[in-house]
Structure 1
Amino acid sequence: MSAGIHKLVVLDMAGTTVADGGLVEESFAAAARTMGADPESMIGYVRATMGESKISVFRHLFGGDEGLARTANSAFEAAYGERVSAGLIAPVDGAREAIEQLRGEGRVVVLSTGFARVTQDAILTALGWEDLADFTLCPADAGGRGRPYPDMVLAAFLRAGVADGVREVVVAGDTSYDMVSGVRAGAGVVAGVLTGAHGKAQLVENGAGFVLGSVAELPGLLGELERAS
């Protein structure tokens, strides 16, 4: 089956395709305590910047001190990894089926994250998703800059070899920064989902052209858009 006009789909992981029950915030809190900091003083910024590269968040929280940021980021990744290993994550309902349908329609599907590669791989292994997407990306795969920069979306575009331009790209995520990165990349469809960090108003304010209940609705949306084109 032809992929129509939307040939590349870049999907966020935590909150979009993966339900982690608040483990991101828990792991930030654990990292803050490891650093001798007060998690409550940081959690507002953490929530506002959900979707951003985690090392970038820590650089801000620790005043640009690269050593402290890297130590805190390592503590965060370790805390999140422990929770993943304990089985505290699961797929968002219908996410696997949606990805399989999108690929079955001839689209390239990419899973992207603000986590480090080691954590991304741990999530994929825990869910048995190692071969679910065509490929996966973390900030290090895009020169080190994660969301809200467009770099991961553009890296996916270049690697997938989409022929006719970024308007063929679809970006879907649960955070404001997912939306911003999609808009900055020039994606033809930028869709927010309501299974994660941010609500409809935040998603629309930051560029969502569509807001879905979950990623399970994405194949239907793309089908409708292509039939109408």
Structure 2
Amino acid sequence: MTDISLVVLDMAGTTVADDGLVERAFQAAADGQGVEAGSPEHQRMLAHVRATMGESKISVFRHLFGAEENAQQANLDFEAAYHRLVDEGHCAALPGAAEAIAELRASGRKVVLTTGFSRATQDRILDALGWQSVADLTLCPAEAGRGRPYPDLALTALLRTGTDSVRELAVVGDTGYDMLTGVRSGASVVAGVLTGAHDRERLLADGATHVLGSIAELPALLLAG
């Protein structure tokens, strides 16, 4: 696909192993709001967290906890817990991710890493992996206007990299919200990977043009013919 010049990649679940870190950090946020682990209310909230993987975390907490003060505190508790898990070593690149990014960039394509986390959490992950320079650009929702499932992250990546057309854009992620972002941005390639939150059926239902086993398969798709 020689017409693809910009590849927008999700982080957790796509290029970075999640291994339940989001759910573990959410437990800290729920605890801080007095939601008892294992209770029906907790299970309802956890189901929403799973369904909306990829969305800006503060948006998720606004939905779950209502008042802005509660949402902001939940977000702070979530970030503190997630940072602690990262600092303890529970953060790793998915197999083949760094190599795939390097191959795409070596071919002349630009790569942008996006996330539903805050900039502080995104930087914590990048630092833990030694990925400060792995991509041409990194973006979080606050730097784009709105997070997923809106097209803002992908379109901001396009504008910031000087890409000429949305037809030159590929959007790749592990969640239905990543797929919706790709579709709404007009990307030619909207690729789902099966290493994260959502299954093939969800990815296809939300608009995936391709479903890959992992990010390691992406260069073969984009560099073919």
Offset at residue 206 of structure 1 (A): 0.3
Rounded to whole Å, the distance in 2 between the matches of 1:157 and 1:78 is 31
| AA aligned opposite 2:60 | V
Offset at residue 37 of structure 1 (A): 1.5
| AA aligned opposite 2:153 | M
- What value does the CA root-mean-square deviation take over the aligned residues? 0.9
Task: Establish whether residue 74 from structure 1 lines up as the match of residue 76 from structure 2.
Answer: yes
Task: Establish whether residue 202 from structure 1 lines up as the match of residue 202 from structure 2.
Answer: yes
Rounded to whole Å, the distance in 1 between the matches of 2:65 and 2:90 is 28
Number of equivalenced pairs: 220
Q: What are the within-5 Å matches in structure 2 for residues 184-195 of structure 1? A: 184-195=184-195
The percentage of counterpart residues that share the same residue type is: 62
Rounded to whole Å, the distance in 2 between the matches of 1:215 and 1:29 is 28
| AA aligned opposite 1:184 | R
| AA aligned opposite 1:198 | H
TM-score normalized by the length of structure 1: 0.94
Task: Establish whether residue 88 from structure 1 lines up as the match of residue 86 from structure 2.
Answer: no
Paired residue for 2:14? 16
**Match of 1:47, SS?**
helix
Rounded to whole Å, the distance in 2 between the matches of 1:46 and 1:110 is 25
Offset at residue 62 of structure 1 (A): 1.2
| AA aligned opposite 2:123 | D
Q: What are the within-5 Å matches in structure 2 for residues 1-229 of structure 1? A: 4-38=2-36, 39-63=42-66, 65-143=67-145, 145-163=146-164, 165-224=165-224, 227=225
**Match of 2:190, SS?**
strand
Q: Deviations over 1:39-74 (max 9, x none)?
A: 3231000000000000000010013x1111111011
**Match of 1:136, SS?**
strand
Q: Deviations over 1:17-37 (max 9, x none)?
A: 000211001111111011111
Rounded to whole Å, the distance in 2 between the matches of 1:29 and 1:100 is 35
**Match of 1:191, SS?**
strand
Rounded to whole Å, the distance in 2 between the matches of 1:97 and 1:41 is 38
| AA aligned opposite 1:114 | G
**Match of 2:223, SS?**
helix
Q: Does the aligned pair in 1 maintain the 2:18–2:196 contact within 8 Å?
A: no
Rounded to whole Å, the distance in 1 between the matches of 2:92 and 2:215 is 14
Moved beyond 6 Å, runs of 4+: none
| AA aligned opposite 1:49 | T
Q: Deviations over 1:122-157 (max 9, x none)?
A: 0000000000001100001102x1000110000000
Rounded to whole Å, the distance in 1 between the matches of 2:135 and 2:129 is 12
Rounded to whole Å, the distance in 2 between the matches of 1:87 and 1:147 is 27
Q: Does the aligned pair in 1 maintain the 2:5–2:110 contact within 8 Å?
A: yes
Rounded to whole Å, the distance in 1 between the matches of 2:43 and 2:85 is 21
